Amino acid sequence: MGPTNLGGSFTFGNSSLTVNRMGYGAMQLAGPGVWGPPKDPEGAVAVLREAVAAGVNHIDTSDYYGPYVTNQIIKRALHPYPAGLVIVTKLGGRRPPDKSWQPAISPQELTSGVHENLRNLGLDVLDIVNYRVIGSSHGPEEGSIAEQVTVLADLQRKGLIRHIGLSNVTASQVAEAQAITDIVCVQNLYNVAHRDDDDFIDELGRQGIAYVPFFPLGGFAPLQSALLESVAKSLKAKPMQVALAWLLHRARNILLIPGTSSIHHLRENLEAATLQLSPETIAELDAIAAGRPSGTIGV
C-alpha cells in the first residue's frame, strides 16, 4: 500500500514535529485486555510496517500497554526509526498482576517510566510524553496535576523529553500545566456521539494545541449506531470510516490514532481520510450526539 492522503498535516505547537493527521494507536497490538503479548506477534509487526509504508508518521503508545509489549513490538518493527516518525507515549498508569489500571503518579514512578519508555523504544529522547490522569471514572476529574507536570518538565530540561502533552484532563488542568511548561497536545474522550469537549477543542485549536480523541469509534447507543450506519450506507462507506472522517472535518487540530491489529482494518481506517462529507451529511452526523451513551473505555 503506497502513501495516501492522510488528512493533511499538523505541527505540534512551536515544535519541529509535523505529522499527518491520520495516525495509529498501538494499544491493540498487545494481547486480550491490553495484557501480555499478542497471539500473532508477526502480524503486529506487519501492521506497524504497513502503517508507516502508507505514510503514517504519528504512533501513539504507552509502556503500560502489555505492560511493555507494544513498545517492544514498535522497536522490533521499526527501529532504526525512519526520519520524521513521531512516537507519542504516555505516563501516569501501571498494570499490576490483577490486570487493572492503576495510577502511577509519584516522581519516582514518572521518572522510572520515562527511562523504561526510552529503553523499550530504543530512543535517547522521547518526542512527546502525555501525562495521563487516571481517576475513579472514565472521564476527567478536577484536581491538581502540578506535581506530575513539574516532574516531566524537569525531565524535559534534562533532555529526555522534547514535548509534553496531557490526557483525560479538564481545561483548568491544561491551564495549570501551561503555567509550568508548554503543552502541545491533549488526549480526551471524544467522538461523534460524545461531544462534551466541543468548546474545549475549539479553544485548544486557537492556541495551536493538538486534540487527539481516544475511543473514536465506540460507546454508541443502538439508535446512534443505526443513524451512523444509515449515513455510511448512503456514502458507500463503513460506519467507522464515516466516524473517523467526521472527526477530521470537525477541527483542523484534531489528530486521529485509531488502533487495530488487522492490516485490513488499518487500510479501512486510513481510507477514511479520503472520505468527503457534504454539509448535509455533517449535519446528519451532528444530530447523533443527542444522546450520551455509556461504554467501556480503555486508557
Contact, 18 vs 10, CB < 8 A?
Answer: yes
Domains for the chain: give ranges and CATH numbers.
17-219+252-258 (3.20.20.100)
pLDDT value at residue 135: 84
pLDDT band at 4 (very low <50, low <70, confident <90, very high): low
pLDDT value at residue 215: 87
pLDDT in tens, 118-168: 999 999 999 999 999 998 777 899 999 999 999 999 999 999 999 999 999
Question: Residue range 237-252: average pLDDT?
Answer: 97
Contact, 184 vs 12, CB < 8 A?
Answer: yes
Catalytic residue among 24, 65, 68, 190: 65
**Taking the complete model, does pTM exceed 0.85, yes or no?**
yes
pLDDT value at residue 290: 67
Q: Is the pLDDT of residue 294 over 60?
A: no
Contact, 238 vs 268, CB < 8 A?
Answer: yes
Q: Is the pLDDT of residue 192 over 50?
A: yes
Which of 81-90, 100-109, 202-211, 282-291 has the weakest average pLDDT? Answer: 282-291
pLDDT band at 231 (very low <50, low <70, confident <90, very high): very high
Q: Is the pLDDT of residue 276 over 70?
A: yes
Tell me the backbone φ, ψ of residue 130, rounded to 5 degrees.
-90, 130
Q: How far is CA 15 from CA 49, 156, 237, 251, in A?
A: 26, 14, 36, 20
Q: d(Cα 237, Cα 216) in Å, to the nearest integer?
A: 17
What one-character-per-residue DSSP string does 7-52 give?
S-EEE-TTSS-EEESB-EE-GGGSSGGGBS--S-HHHHHHHHHHHH
Tell me the backbone φ, ψ of residue 221, rounded to 5 degrees.
-70, 160
24: annotated active-site residue: no
Amino acid at 105: I
pLDDT value at residue 262: 97
pLDDT value at residue 297: 37
Tell me the backbone φ, ψ of residue 89, rounded to 5 degrees.
-115, 175
Mean pLDDT of the chain: 94
Q: d(Cα 164, Cα 180) in Å, to the nearest integer?
A: 11
Question: Residue range 211-228: average pLDDT?
Answer: 90
Residue 66, strand partner residues: 35
Alpha-carbon torsion 167, 170, 171, 175, what sign? Answer: negative
pLDDT in tens, 18-64: 999 999 999 999 999 999 999 999 999 999 999 999 999 999 999 99
Q: d(Cα 38, Cα 259) in Å, to the nearest integer?
A: 14
Percent of the chain with pLDDT over 90: 89
Which of 39-48, 87-96, 102-111, 220-229 has the weakest average pLDDT? Answer: 220-229
Provide the H-helix boundaries in the chain: 41-53, 69-78, 107-121, 146-157, 171-178, 198-206, 222-234, 239-250, 263-271, 279-286
Q: Is the pLDDT of residue 296 over 80?
A: no
pLDDT value at residue 5: 81
Q: d(Cα 137, Cα 189) in Å, to the nearest integer?
A: 12
Residue found by looking up cell 494481547 in the block: 31
Q: d(Cα 190, Cα 197) in Å, to the nearest integer?
A: 7
